[in-house]
Amino acid sequence: MMRIRIITLFPEMVLNLARFGVIGRAIEGGLVELDTLNPSDYSTDPHGRVDDRPYGGGPGMVMRYEPLQKAIHQARANEPDSHVVCLSAQGKLFEQKDVARLLAHTNLVLVAGRYEGIDERLVEAETDEELSVGDFVVSGGELPAMLLVDALIRHVPGALGHEESAQQDSFVDGMLDCPHYTRPGKIDGREVPEVLLQGDHQAIERWRQKQALGRTCLRRPDVFAKLDLSEEQKALLEEYLQEHGIQ
Q: Which residues bind ligand 9D3 (CB under 6 A)?
A: 87-89, 113, 116-117, 132-134, 136-141, 144
CB of 51 to ligand 9D3, least distance (A): 12
Closer by beta carbon to ligand 9D3, 128 or else 191: 128
Number of residues that this document lists for the chain: 247
89 contacts 137 by C-beta, under 8 angstroms = yes
Q: How far is the CB of 144 from ligand 9D3 (least distance, A)?
A: 4
Least gap, CB of 62 to ligand 9D3 (angstroms): 10
Least distance (Å) from ligand 9D3 to the CB of residue 94? 8
Nearer to ligand 9D3, 133 or 212 (CB): 133
Judged by beta carbon, residue 9 or residue 34, the one nearer ligand 9D3 is 9
Q: In terms of CB distance, is 27 or 87 closer to ligand 9D3?
A: 87
DSSP readout, 114-172?
-TTEE-HHHHHHH-SEEEE--SS--SSSHHHHHHHHHHHHTTSTTSSSSTHHHHHSTTT
The Cα-based distances of 230 to 11, 16, 60, 237 in angstroms read 48, 44, 52, 11
Minimum CB separation of residue 58 from ligand 9D3 in Å reads 8
In the bound state with ligand 9D3, the residue whose beta carbon lies nearer, of 140 and 174, is: 140
Cis ω before 54 (30° cut-off from 0): no
End-to-end CA, the chain = 52
